Amino acid sequence: MEPDSILLAERRGHTLVLTMNRPERMNALSPELSDALIEAFVEAGADPDIRAVVLTAVGDRAFCAGADLKARAQEDKDGKPFQPLLSRVQRYVFEVVYETIKPTIAALNGPAVAGGLELALACDLRVAAEHVRLGLPEAKRGKGAHFANVMLPRMVPSGIAYEMLYLGEYIGAEDAKRWGLVNRVVPRGEALAEALRLADAICQNAPVSLRRMKETAIRSNGLPVPAALRLNEGISPYTSEDRVEGVRAFVEKRDPVWRGR
């Protein structure tokens, strides 16, 4: 994408780096940015050369401040009705990110609040700079936090989830790590580098296995264990060329050459 785009895309080996580029609005999710994210994640899922996606943002003031409330206020003033997120023509951006069949990492270069935190929760892993704060102030704005309502109690103890939702207060990066909301806390300015390090390590592993792990984890969420164990999502690693290559490479004491099939 062009440098002045609201979403920058860069390939680094088998990793796609997506950078939200609205620093003047704290990288808030405008309809245009949401649409660009949906398109980018759908395309990354379909691209066989992409094995991991890292999502970050420009600057260190904010990863994402959530929905663009100034834009919404103007729409309210103009009498434009609010469209529920699951009733729009386009797909729900958090759902698209969550269901992407490639491993996803959010590099939190700055605070992630409201829809910005939901966007981070939709990713598989989260790396936070030490100054990052996370929060869901929707109850203070009369909004809903629909994705977080569903996901947060699945990710942290219910009391912590309800406290974050009901009070709308922010927590720091270290508390977020203690509760498992982030995987790593790093010095300011190093979130992307650490996320790329994780992505590089992920990309050393078999693409078929990674896809099976991701799809099974997503599709099995909420299913009874007997039903979950019988899922057969995507390409089977057990009958794949990658499985044969992985075993052969181990025996021959060399790095495997994955073909993703």
Tell me which residues are annotated as active site: 138
Name residue, tokens 């892993």.
125
Q: Token digits for 251?
A: 């025996």
d(CA 219, CA 228) in angstroms, rounded, equals: 8
Question: 195-232 burial string, b = 16+ CB within 10 Å, else e?
Answer: bbebbeebbebbbbbbbbbbbbeeebeeeeeeeeeeee
Cα gap 161→154, rounded to integer Å: 9
Q: Nearest-CA neighbor of 97 among 199, 214, 210, 185? A: 214
Using CA atoms, how far apart are residues 252 and 43, in angstroms rounded to an integer? Answer: 36
